[in-house]
Amino acid sequence: MKALRLYGPKDMRVDDIPVPEINDNELLIKIDSCTICGSDFRNISAGGSAHGMDLPRVMGHEIASTIVKVGESWKDEFEVGEHIVVAAVSPCGKCELCLEGYENQCLDKQATAYNYDGGFAEYMRVPERSIRSGNVLKVSSDKLQQVALSEPLSCAINGQEIAEVKLGDSVLVVGCGPMGLFHIQLARLNGAKQIIASDFDKNRLEIAKKHGADIVFSPQEEDPAEKIKELTGGLGVNVVVVAVPVPGIVSDALQWVRRRGRINVFGGMPKQKPEATLDLNVIHYNEITITGTSDSTARQLRIAADLITTGRIKTDFMISKVVDLEEARDILVAGPQPEHIKIVVKPELSSKASKDKEDAAYVK
């Protein structure tokens, strides 16, 4: 089968490797769609080193697939032909955090495309731990391309829950990339009365405006502190979601939230420079809460898949491109582009292309 594997910093290759073998406790899936995540770019430019990955490694963790082989012990629960999404996290289910219901914070966490091969390949082995912990979810929808976005959406749901976005809130989303766009839609579903979005990219602001934001602005053209004051009657917003990898935004956000406001540090920060300077007196006197978010739980994955399947969360407008493994390699090595929101990788397209080539050679 064809697989896109990471060998080192910005070194990705499309390889021909054997279809994975499974044991009695595992599943074999055929990947329909696996979307590219912002973290893929970071890991690829770092060569996987930050997480001590064994290389080469098949990347890709936002997966929608069809079951092609069921291990003996799962015969009562899964059937060949069923569609499933696979969560990125594979928790132990036994540690303190797992037992508290925060399996995304598992003390012995494993993850797709880190500890075992991921979804930028025609087939993938789903490990026992992932199935046992409920992180494999059957989906009825045959819109697998859209359903692949359940994993990133579930992470945004985790962020909204932690930031406690609720009925009547005013919410500022900083950054209108895919995660920012999910936050805008979720804030609307959660009953926010006012959703403001900011980004430097004009095109992304337009998309945000069209899909849930009430007001959009570019910090290049308008001073955020002034703008937010004006929009909230001088009070500030209830919630700021920081969906960009810029530490300084968290310090600035202290001027944008109202008293008792909440700031969610949603995006991961650059590994070389994750620090920011915060005015602790603002946090103290104004009773500000700053929270983080990372990954999601099996419960949140279910909510995400349902919201996409029912159309409550729209995903069609977020898919900028559908590519094969070769094009995915070029895009991943080149780094993120503002005109791409979500890119869907369909490994099957690569095998079709190579079969067509073989057929053509045979005919000659």
> How far apart are alpha carbons 35 and 61 in whole angstroms?
8
The SS3 call for residue 117 is: coil
CB of 38 to Zn ion, least distance (A): 7
Please name the residue that has the structure tokens 């009430």. Answer: 214
Question: 44 is written with which tokens?
Answer: 């690829």
Q: How many CB atoms lie within 10 A of CB 328?
A: 27
Stretch of 98-106, 172-180, 227-235, 355-363 lying at the interface with Zn ion (CB under 5 A):
98-106
Residue nearest to Zn ion (CB): 37
Residue 47 dihedral angles phi and psi, to the nearest 5°:
70, 25
CB of 262 to Zn ion, least distance (A): 23
Binding mask 99-128 for Zn ion (x = CB under 5 A): -------x----------------------
Separation of first and last alpha carbons in the chain: 24
DSSP structure class, residue 74:
G
Q: Which is nearer to Zn ion, 1 or 106 (CB)?
A: 106
Stretch of 21-29, 96-104, 142-150, 299-307 lying at the interface with Zn ion (CB under 5 A):
96-104
- Please check whether residue 151 is in contact with residue 40, taking contact to mean a CB–CB distance below 8 angstroms: no
Per rule CB under 5 A, count of chain residues that contact Zn ion: 6
Residue 179 dihedral angles phi and psi, to the nearest 5°:
-70, -40
Q: Which is nearer to Zn ion, 98 or 263 (CB)?
A: 98
- Indicate whether 95 belongs to the interface with Zn ion (CB under 5 A): yes
- Please check whether residue 27 is in contact with residue 70, taking contact to mean a CB–CB distance below 8 angstroms: yes
CB of 249 to Zn ion, least distance (A): 20
Stretch of 9-17, 74-82, 87-95, 195-203 lying at the interface with Zn ion (CB under 5 A):
87-95
Question: 204 is written with which tokens?
Answer: 């992304």
Closest of 279, 284, 276 to residue 259, by C-alpha: 284
CB of 194 to Zn ion, least distance (A): 28
The SS3 call for residue 111 is: strand
CB of 269 to Zn ion, least distance (A): 16
Nearest-5° Cα angle at 59, 56 to 61: 150
Residue of 91, 127, 236, 267 interacting with Zn ion (CB under 5 A): 91
Helices assigned H by DSSP within 198-323? 202-210, 224-231, 248-253, 280-286, 298-309
Binding mask 224-253 for Zn ion (x = CB under 5 A): ------------------------------
Binding mask 27-66 for Zn ion (x = CB under 5 A): ----------x-----------------------------
- Indicate whether 283 belongs to the interface with Zn ion (CB under 5 A): no
- Indicate whether 98 belongs to the interface with Zn ion (CB under 5 A): yes
CB of 286 to Zn ion, least distance (A): 33
The SS3 call for residue 207 is: helix
Q: Which is nearer to Zn ion, 37 or 136 (CB)?
A: 37
Residues engaged in binding Zn ion (CB under 5 A): 37, 91-92, 95, 98, 106
